[in-house]
Structure 1
Amino acid sequence: MIREYQAKDLDAIMTIWLQGNEQAHNFIDPEFFKQNFELVKMLIPMSTIYVQDINGVVVGFIGLTENYISGLYVEKNSRHQGTGAALVEKAKQRHNELMVHVYKQNSDAINFYLSQNFEIVGESINEETNHPEILMRCNVEHKVKIGKCAL
C-alpha cells in the first residue's frame, strides 16, 4: 500500500536512503552520505513523502518538493518488483510534470526513469559532489473522467 509519510517512518526511510545511496552511487565517497545523514533526516518531513508499506514495513519511498523528485529509494530486496514504478505513478497523479536529477554514472536509475516516460532534458555538474548529472522530465497527461468516459 502506498500511503503518506508518518513520523514513525523516519528511521526506516533513513536506513533505505543511506543504503540506497551507498549502493547506487559507489563512485561517491560513502562518507559524503554519512556526513549528510542528519541534514537529510531533518529535511525529510519538510517534503511530500509517500511510502510503500507492506504489512507495516516501509520498503520504499519517494520524496517530492513540488514537482521535483528529491529522492526515490527502494530497499534492496524489494527492487524490480514494481515498487519504484508505483511510487512514481503516485507522484504522477499529483503533478502535470515531474523533474529529477540523476547522476550520469547511475545507468540503472536513468534506464528506470526512461522506462517511466521521462526524457533527458539537460546535463550539469552536481555542485556538492562534482559529478556529472542529467536532468530528466516527464510530462504527465491526466485523463478527465466524466461518468464512464475518459476525455
Structure 2
Amino acid sequence: MIREYQTKDLDSVMSLWLSGNQQAHHFIDPQFYQNNYEFVKMLMPASTIFVQDIDGVRGFIGLMDNYISGLFVDEHYRHQNIGKALIAKAKQLHNELTVIVYKQNSSAIAFFQSQGFEVIGESINEETLEPEVTMSCVVNHTVKIGKCAL
C-alpha cells in the first residue's frame, strides 16, 4: 500500500536512503553519505514523501514540487514494481516530473526511461564532482472513454 509519510517512518526512510545510495553509487566514497546523513534527515520534512508499506516501509519517493528528490526501494523488494508504483503516484500529482541521476548509475537511468523519462541535460555534481543527467517526463492526464476526454 502506498501511503503518505508519517513521522514514525523517518528511521526506516533514512535507512533506505543510506543503504540505497551506498549500493547504487559504488563510485562515490560511502563516507560521503554517512557525512550527509543528519543533514538529509533534517531536510526530509521539507519533501512530500510517499512510502510503500508492506509490513514496514519497503520503498519511498520524495518530491519537492515536481522534482523527485529521491526514490529508494529496499534491496530485498526490488524488481517487484514498487518503484514503478511510486512513480505512478507522483505522476498522479504532477503534470511534469524531473529527476537528476548520476551518469554511472545506468540501472536508474534505464528505470526512469522505462517510466517515460528522457534525458534533457548533463552536468557535474558540485559536491561529488561526478557527471549526472537531468531527466524529465511530461505526464498526460487525459483519460479517453470512447471519444470523450476527461
TM-score category (smaller protein)? over 0.9
1:18 aligns with: 18
Counterparts of 2:94 and 2:140, CA distance in 1: 9
Per-residue deviation, 1:22: 0.3
2:125 aligns with: 126
Per-residue deviation, 1:98: 0.1
In structure 1, give the amino acid aligned to 2:93: R
Q: What's the secondary structure of 1:138's corresponding residue?
A: strand
Q: Aligned residues: percent identity?
A: 66
Counterparts of 1:29 and 1:23, CA distance in 2: 11
2:36 aligns with: 36
In structure 2, give the amino acid aligned to 1:29: D
CA offsets per residue over residues 3-46 of structure 1, 9 Å max, x none? 00000000000000000000000000000000000000010111
1:63 aligns with: 62
In structure 2, give the amino acid aligned to 1:23: Q
CA offsets per residue over residues 56-110 of structure 1, 9 Å max, x none? x000000000000000000000000000000000000000000000000000000
* Residue segments in structure 2 that go unaligned for 5+ positions in a row: none
Following superposition of structure 1 onto structure 2, how do residues 1-151 of structure 1 map, counting pairs within 5 Å? Answer: 1-55=1-55, 57-143=56-142, 150-151=149-150
CA offsets per residue over residues 104-136 of structure 1, 9 Å max, x none? 000000000000000000000000100000000
CA RMSD of aligned residues (A): 1.2
Per-residue deviation, 1:144: 5.0
Q: How many residues align?
A: 148
Counterparts of 1:10 and 1:145, CA distance in 2: 39
User: TM-score, normalized by length of structure 2?
Assistant: 0.96
Counterparts of 1:134 and 1:75, CA distance in 2: 24
In structure 2, give the amino acid aligned to 1:26: H
Q: What's the secondary structure of 1:38's corresponding residue?
A: helix
Q: What's the secondary structure of 2:33's corresponding residue?
A: helix
* Residue segments in structure 1 that go unaligned for 5+ positions in a row: none
User: TM-score, normalized by length of structure 1?
Assistant: 0.95
Counterparts of 1:144 and 1:8, CA distance in 2: 36
